[in-house]
Amino acid sequence: MWALGDYPAVATEVIAELGPVLVRACQAGPGTRVLDIAAGSGNAAIAAALTGADVVASDLTPELLETGRAHAAEAGAKLEWQQGDAEDLPYGDGEFDVAMSCVGIMFAPHHQASADEMLRVVRPGGTLGVVNWTPQGFIGQMFATMKPYAAPPPPGAQPAPLWGDPEHVRALFGDRVTDVVAERRMLRVERFGSPEEFRDFFKACYGPTIATYRFIAEDPERVAALDRDLADLGRRFGAADGSGAMEWEYLLLTARKAD
């Protein structure tokens, strides 16, 4: 799904600032070994590498890794790019000082499995950090809007935006972490001039939206209804100042792995 469309355009044109936000929160820098889980095209991994950290970017989708390599070369960032499943990471126990994920791990279907793996690969006392879309925020509500039109999820899959609920993430990590800091923040998005422009961009670039439209492609009435619903969503989340910008809520959560 994530190879559909042009997710790197979303990462670079819409949500680019999220990666550096996460890197700063995790205090990545020289002397730290960092794993970016479900790294996509490297929104956070490249930012971490530019701090001087030793970085591995891991993702399930080879096409995104290839784009990430190109972006890293353009930015002058040196890091490793490796294919890996967030629910079964190909790394040893305690191999990293920092494990982080920027709106990535949330899309692994089995949340406990991916949280367990994230914890496993971090050394005792190391840092875990995630940026995830909240259920009540714009992207969480976009998935809620698409749900009636989308194919049923596979058995056992959990909704991605639950990773944006701090209590859900605390429960996933349990007593295996300390010093949990959770903060809801807003990303101001000024990329789109209208709700319809947002909708059409996501129809062309964002894998989950593309997959949803493909599922209903032979039903023009449902396609038209989803078109209306997504444009209405964009209108509801427009900035209060009338500028045409949008405010997208996300959760920034960091923790320390217990010794």
Q: Which residues of 169-208 are buried (b: 16+ CB within 10 A; e: fewer)?
A: beebbeebbeeeeeeeeebebeebeebeebbebbbebbbb
In contact, 100 and 70? CB cutoff 8 Å: no
Q: 239 falls in which pLDDT band (50, 70, 90)?
A: low
Residue 37 has pLDDT above 80, yes or no: yes
**From CA 20, how far away is CA 28, in angstroms rounded?**
10
CA–CA dist 7, 103 (Å, integer) = 12
pLDDT-based confidence at 4, cuts 50/70/90? confident
Q: What is the per-residue pLDDT for 128?
A: 98
pLDDT (average), residues 85-96: 97
The 10s digit of each residue's pLDDT in 111-153 is 999 999 999 999 999 999 999 999 999 999 999 999 999 999 9
| Ranges of each domain in the chain | 7-135+154-188+247-257
Token pair listed for 141: 């509500």
Q: Any bridge partners for residue 55, and if so which?
A: 34
CATH architecture of 7-135+154-188+247-257: 3-Layer(aba) Sandwich (3.40)
- What is the per-residue pLDDT for 7? 86
Checking if the pLDDT of 242 tops 80, the result is no
The mean pLDDT value for 175-191 works out to 96
Output the pLDDT for position 244: 73
Mean pLDDT, residues 93-108: 97
39: confidence class by pLDDT, cuts 50, 70, 90: very high
On the 0-12 / 13-18 / 19+ scale of CB atoms within 10 A, 134 is: buried
Q: Quote the percentage of the chain above a pLDDT of 70.
A: 98
pTM of the model: 0.93
Average pLDDT, the chain: 95
- How far is the C-alpha of 196 from the C-alpha of 31, rounded, in Å? 46
Burial grade of 122 (CB within 10 A; 0-12, 13-18, 19 or more): buried
pLDDT at 1 over 90: no
Task: Tell me the pLDDT band of 159, cut-offs 50, 70 and 90.
Answer: very high
Distance CA 77, CA 134 (A): 30
